[in-house]
Structure 1
Amino acid sequence: MRRSRGVPMIRATRGNGQSAAITCAALAYARVWGGRTAFDEEFGIFVCSGMRGGFARGGTTIGGAFLTGRTPARTLLRHEAVHADQWATYGWSFALRYLFEELRHRGARNRFEIAAGLADGGYRVS
């Protein structure tokens, strides 16, 4: 049975309209940077790998899309799927919430990173 093209978008954006718009923009952005896009069924997230740049650290989740230069580990995708949940919860304001939290508590002290699982995200857990 073939799935409708819309099903991955609904799953990746958790059915949230704002997250869908953000995800569409992220997918277009990834294409500009040379990304190859695939949908990960297990974690319900688009993975845009092979990008030449345009992402932070080892990768960045924008809406329901994970942007990266390499093929990510399964544990990292589990971490990034939580960030997709956060985008769906907060919509456009998640970008500002994350930025403010990162300015106050960098990296492994960021509450959004803690919620996503520090070890899965590749953070050193002490």
Structure 2
Amino acid sequence: MRARRVANILNLSTALGLVVAALGRARVRRGPHGLLLAEGCRLPLLGAGAMTIGDVVLTSGRFADLVRVLPAVLEHESRHAAQWRRWGGLPFLLAYGAGALWSLVSTGDRGAGNPFERAAGLADGGYREVPRRRLLRR
């Protein structure tokens, strides 16, 4: 966790997350798993209940409410923070975007076929399994 935190500071992804939190006028506090929780973000989060940038997890509401609905959501977001580290920070944006695009094409859903969401645990993040579209099945 400490190594991830240091890496995400050095690769500037946590700084980007804090900038987004500030632009969205979110309240930031320390959370579990070495994460920084940014609540009340006023920027659109692309339809997600939470979004992670570096070690910063953003939500438009309150984490207490989100965790009541999705008890493992912070574990899911912690796995995304680790993905930011593995991808060296900002290149993760392109990789994640490609994964989301592939998911939309292959399943019609932005998360179900995204390899990053699958690796973070679909159910933990509130995603559901969606079968591949018929055109892409063999």
Tell me how many residue pairs correspond in the alignment: 114
- Work out which of the two has the higher radius of gyration on C-alpha atoms and give 1 or 2: 2
How far apart are the structure 1 equivalents of 2:3 and 2:94? 21
**What is the TM-score of this pair, normalised by structure 1?**
0.81
- The match for 2:93 among 85, 92, 95 is 95
Amino acid at match of 2:80: H
Corresponding residue of 1:32:
23
- Given that residues 12 and 45 in structure 1 are in contact (C-alpha distance below 8 angstroms), is that contact kept between their aligned partners in structure 2? no
Corresponding residue of 1:3:
none
Query: Percent of aligned pairs with the same residue?
Result: 39
Deviation at 1:13, TM superposition (A): 4.1
CA RMSD across the alignment: 1.9
In structure 2, runs of 5+ residues without a counterpart are 104-109, 131-138
Residues 24-103 of structure 1: pairs in structure 2 closer than 5 A? 24-40=15-31, 42-56=32-46, 57-72=48-63, 73=67, 74-91=71-88, 92-103=90-101
Deviations 1:66-119 (A, max 9, x none): 111122314111100000000011022111011011111131111100110111
Moved more, 67-76 or 116-125: 67-76
Equivalent position SS for 1:37: strand
More helix by share: 2
**What is the TM-score of this pair, normalised by structure 2?**
0.74
How far apart are the structure 2 equivalents of 1:77 and 1:67? 11
How far apart are the structure 2 equivalents of 1:46 and 1:11? 13
